[in-house]
Amino acid sequence: MPDRRARLAAARLYLVCDARGDGRDLAAFLDAALRGGVDLIQLRDKRGDDEAILRAAPLFRAAADAHDALFVLNDRPDLVAETGADGAHVGQDDIGVPQARVAVGDDRIVGLSTHTPAQVDAAAQDDVDYFAVGPVHATPTKPGRPAVGLELIEHAASEPRRVPWFAIGGLDATTLPAAVAAGARRAVVVRALTAASDPEATARALRAELEAGVGAA
């Protein structure tokens, strides 16, 4: 997939989901979210073992392929080739970016979480293809990680960045507008879609909010 980075550059809405889809029909849920405008899906399963990840990965891969989207693994660069993922996302306390790059290769993408201005600035110069900025708000998906607020979004948006970046953390229909006003043009969501009664409509509304920000920039 030689256009991975071009797809990434055009991406606006990024969904993180575990291997169970919070009890939903996982394939149907992913299809609905992608129909609504999700560009990138991440399989993040802190409780699952390798077998669970490998079992769920084909559903993510098939859903991404059906909608011309990207599929990324969380924290597991070592399984990227086996799952056919487009890349991996790592945190500040996970495997380092250089090691992740070696594991996934130059043709696939590497993303990185950032939580401070220094980390944002370093990521913009590092060998990453995108980075996430947050958590903007406290969220149960990141227990023990304090919210960074909108100031870090404003910092990330204060100057042009070499690679795309996404706001993350407690973003939904009520909180996304403030993040967009602070300068976010891309967002990562979890519960906003996994807990939505209509994930397709919710994804469509979230994407529209992001695109409105792009149009106003």
Known binding residues for Mg(2+): 75, 94
Q: Which residues are annotated as a binding site?
A: 42-46, 74-75, 94, 113, 139-142, 170
C-alpha radius of gyration, the chain, whole number: 16
DSSP for 47-111?
A: T--HHHHHHHHHHHHHHHHHTT-EEEEES-GGGHHHHT-SEEEE-TTSS-HHHHHHHH-TTSEEE
Q: How many residues does the chain have?
A: 217
- Residues 216, 56: contact at Cβ < 8 Å? no
